[in-house]
Structure 1
Amino acid sequence: MSRRTPKLPSWLPIDPYILALIGTVAFAAILPASGTAAEVAKGASTGAVALLFFLYGARLSTAEALEGLRHWRLHLTVLICTFVAFPLLGLAAGGLVPYVLTPQLHSGLLFLCLVPSTIQSSIAFTSIARGNVSAAICAGSFSSIAGIFLTPLFAAALLGEEGGGFSADALLRIAVQLLLPFAAGQLLRRWIGGFLTRRKKILGRVDRGSILLVVYTAFSAGMVTGVWHQITPARLGALLGVEALLLALMLTISWYGAKRLGFGREDRVAIQFAGANKSLAAGLPMASVLFGAQASLAVLPLMLFHQMQLMVCAVIAKRRSRDPQEAHATGAATTREPAIAG
């Protein structure tokens, strides 16, 4: 009789991949890479980031993106939530320094506000809540495309020296490690797109494994340079409180703002989940490029926020699924549990 792989209970609010990320951080704390090992890990991490963005480009269907443009008002609303409302709240949080947040934690929080929306999780939540799934797919995709260009540029401009600075060197790193692999993937999509589509599960493991490597390298550097001595339990608790408020504000703004703009319930569901969620998969590689040795502190707010949004949005989606409005088929995607990769 075959043995089944043990799974976590369905009621457990922590995604298994989050546990893998926590385990990676713990491993970096116990056995951080230093010396020659650190150089090897850094080189492997750089290659992993380039591979991730190459795969993003190779898997992106230009035809599907153009088809989704017909619902441009919804996509523009999501982009405004992601790249205007979020950053403004992040900048406003600067008033909490140094009383609530340290300058380093605020930089990480601001970087979180610049990261694009997730795709997989927003689609899953929209489907559970009986929203416009096809719109969520396109909105998440457009946000990810825009984020490849806007997130690094906004981070370089707003974070100053801590984010690499808006300099020729920063722009070169962005171009070589992010934009060039993405463009190469787009150019080669015609020949390798089908091959990648048939191997989604394998590529999903490559994506997640690459991100784990990026996390290990970033937190190892943080341990070696001693940045973790700058965080006290009180500061960490304050960060969680600020992020909870940030998530609550964005969920409220996206839901009621979409209503004021005249969107129907199904579109509002898609706007809320796509507009209030942030992508861990996109943010971690970008942080490793932009922050260097300070990446461990920079990605901590994003990692905490991502787990928080999964737990909160899962509850909201299930409650929205019980709304009295009639359910309409709004896309081909099927209901599934939120995915961490987005």
Structure 2
Amino acid sequence: MVRMLLLAIVLASIAPASGRWHDLAQGISNGAIFLLFLLNGLRLPRHEVARGIGHWRFLLPLVIWCFGAMALTGKGFAILGAGVLPPVVALGFLYLGALPSTVQSATAYSSLAGGNVANSVISAALLNVMGVFISVPIISLLGGGAQLELGVNGLTKVFLVLILPFTIGQLLQDRLHGWITGHKYLVTWMDRISIAIAVYVAFSGAVAQGLWTVVGPDQWAILLVLVIGFLLFGFVGAWLLAKLLGLHRPDRIAFQFAGAHKSVAMGAPLAAVLFPPAVAGMVLLPLLAYHLLQLVASAPLAKRYAAHAPGD
């Protein structure tokens, strides 16, 4: 996935979709995003949603952390970066903070670290379902609607491209879940291609607006420092909160990875729907940097947890 994202960014930098080709690429991207959320609806079993909701002592604090503390901290980082970064790039920290957790990587690292995999899978999946419905209002509320296409047309687009396909997937789950389960490799590649297309189209708009000249080398350095700071807050804060709640070690590990990770699988398509083409790529910069660093940081952390797995 990381390689595909880097390839999409390089391709958008060398051969961005512009003019009438951008309109065509945007149409293809919208179709790919529709397919992505349809597949998400097909894959998440309804009984797992019900079972996950029942574990309120784990789930409720995680929801508050992910969509409350992380979103507010993202707003703080956006304010901090506003004076030294282009405004739309600084806005990307608010956008980053309001996104749900990843499903695949949070679960994979939780498993490697000896965490509670069942809680990790269910909580990350539920956070993504909730993110479809509440990330947009949070971003709009904390961002004051800046740069968002959230009029009637924007809300209609969110419904048609994100919520409708997910709902259709849930309704068709009994009929098609077996096919999805039997073609996991194909479905995984369809996911990755859909996300890469969304990133390519978003970055094409940003490149057309002079991305590589608007953001100078010193600003790239500042962006990286802020992303590392946000990453530290996510990982350390999630662990301390889980410990304060008295969760057992496997649950604390699952809580940390689900609470600190942020989803580019949700973020890239959502940005393509919410923001104008010239803005979406800029807004995604903090998310893409965070996504890469969270994978790099999680590997040694999971290995350390696995190597030092005493009793609670």
Aligned to 2:192: 208
Moved more, 224-233 or 141-150: 224-233
How far apart are the structure 2 equivalents of 1:163 and 1:87? 17
Indicate the residue corresponding to 1:176 in structure 2: 160
Aligned to 2:292: 307
CA drift at 1:130: 0.8
1:286 correspondence with 2:270: yes
Once the 2 structures are TM-superposed, how far is the Cα of residue 218 of structure 1 from its aligned partner? 1.1
Q: Which amino acid aligns with 1:115?
A: L
Q: Distance in 1 between matches of 2:79 and 2:137?
A: 23
For 2:311 and 2:246, the matched residues in 1 are separated by 18
Q: Is the 8 A contact 1:156 1:165 kept in 2?
A: no
Q: Which amino acid aligns with 1:51?
A: L
Cα pair 2:66 2:100 within 8 Å, conserved: yes
| Bigger Rg, structure 1 or 2 | 1
Aligned mates of 1:268, 1:163 — CA distance in 2? 37
Pick from 310, 325, 340 the counterpart of residue 310 of structure 2.
325
Deviation readout 1:82-124 (Å, 9 max, x if unpaired): 1011111111124324433331111111101111101111111
Q: Residues of 1 paired with 2:79 and 2:142: CA distance? A: 15
User: Aligned runs of 1:1-342 on 2, under 5 Å?
Assistant: 17-164=1-148, 166-293=150-277, 294-326=279-311
- 2: CA distance between counterparts of 1:123 and 1:324? 18
Change (3 A) 1:183 1:296: same
Maintained 8 Å contact 1:155/1:163: no
| Residue 153 to residue 161, structure 1, CA distance change in 2 (3 Å) | closer
1:222–1:297: 8 Å Cα contact kept in structure 2? Answer: yes
What one-letter code is carried by the residue in structure 2 that aligns with 1:318?
K
- 3-state DSSP of counterpart to 2:275: helix
Q: Is the 8 A contact 1:159 1:165 kept in 2?
A: no
Query: Per-residue displacement from partner, 1:217-253 (whole Å, max 9, x unpaired)?
Result: 1111222233443211111111111111111112111
What is the TM-score when the length of structure 2 is the normalising length?
0.95
CA separation in 2, counterparts of 1:178 and 1:114? 16
Which sections of structure 1, spanning at least 5 residues, go unmatched? Answer: 1-16, 328-342
RMSD after superposition: 1.6
Deviation, 1:326, is 4.7
Q: As a proportion of its length, which structure holds more helix?
A: 2
Structure 2 counterpart SS, 1:321 = helix
**CA-to-partner distance for each residue in 1:16-48, whole Å, 9 max, x for gaps?**
x31221122111111111222212111101111
* Sequence identity (%): 36
Cα drift, residue 209 of structure 1? 0.8
Counterpart of 1:5 in structure 2 is none
Unaligned runs of 5+ in 2: none
Give the Cα separation in 2 of the matches to 1:73 and 1:295: 36
Task: Quote the Cα distance in structure 2 between the aligned partners of 1:280 and 1:232.
Answer: 24
What TM-score do the two structures reach when normalised by structure 1?
0.87
Determine if contact 1:278/1:306 at 8 Å carries over to the other structure.
Answer: yes
The AA in structure 2 aligned to 1:238 is: I
Q: Given residue 275 of structure 2, which amino acid in structure 1 is its aligned partner?
A: F
What does the per-residue CA deviation read over 1:136-180, in whole Å, with 9 as the maximum and x for residues that have no partner? 111111111111111122223333444425432221121111111
| SS at structure 2 position matched to 1:87 | helix
